[in-house]
Amino acid sequence: MDCKNISCWFISYLAFLTLFSKDLVSSFPSGNNYHGYNNGHGYGLTSNLDYRFYDRSCPRLQMIVKSGVWRAFKDDSRIAASLLRLHFHDCFVNGCDGSILLNDSEDFKGEQNARPNRNSVRGFEVIEDIKSDIESSCPLTVSCADIVALAAREAVVLTGGPFWPVPLGRRDSLTASEQAANTNLPSPFEPLENITAKFVTLGLDLKDVVVLSGAHTIGFAQCFVIKHRLFNFKGSGQPDPNLAASSSLLSKLKDTCPNVDSSDSKLAALDPASSVKFDNAYYVNLMNNIGLLDSDQTLMSDPTAAALVKSYSENPYLFSRDFAVSMVKMGNVGVMTGSDGVIRAKCGFPG
Catalytic residue numbers read: 89
| Number of alpha carbons in the 13 Å side-chain half-sphere of residue 329 | 19
Decide: 239 and 249 in contact? Cβ < 8 Å: no
**How far is the C-alpha of 26 from the C-alpha of 24, rounded, in Å?**
5
Residue length, the chain? 351
Decide: 188 and 293 in contact? Cβ < 8 Å: yes
Decide: 7 and 299 in contact? Cβ < 8 Å: no
- Taking the CB of residue 167, how many other CB atoms lie within 10 A of it? 28
Burial 99-120, CB ≥16 within 10 A → b, else e: bbbbeeeeebebbbebebbeeb
DSSP string, 69-135: HHHHHHH-TTHHHHHHHHHHHHHTTTSSSSGGGPPP-SS---STTSTTTTTT---HHHHHHHHHHHH
Distances (CA, A) of 151 to 2, 93, 243, 292, 342: 23, 18, 34, 26, 19
Decide: 53 and 169 in contact? Cβ < 8 Å: yes
**How far is the C-alpha of 335 from the C-alpha of 94, rounded, in Å?**
8
Q: For 192-245, give the secondary structure using H, E and C.
A: HHHHHHHHHHCCCCHHHHHHHHHHHHCCEEEHHHCHHHHHCHHHCCCCCHHHHC
Q: Diameter of the chain by CA atoms?
A: 62
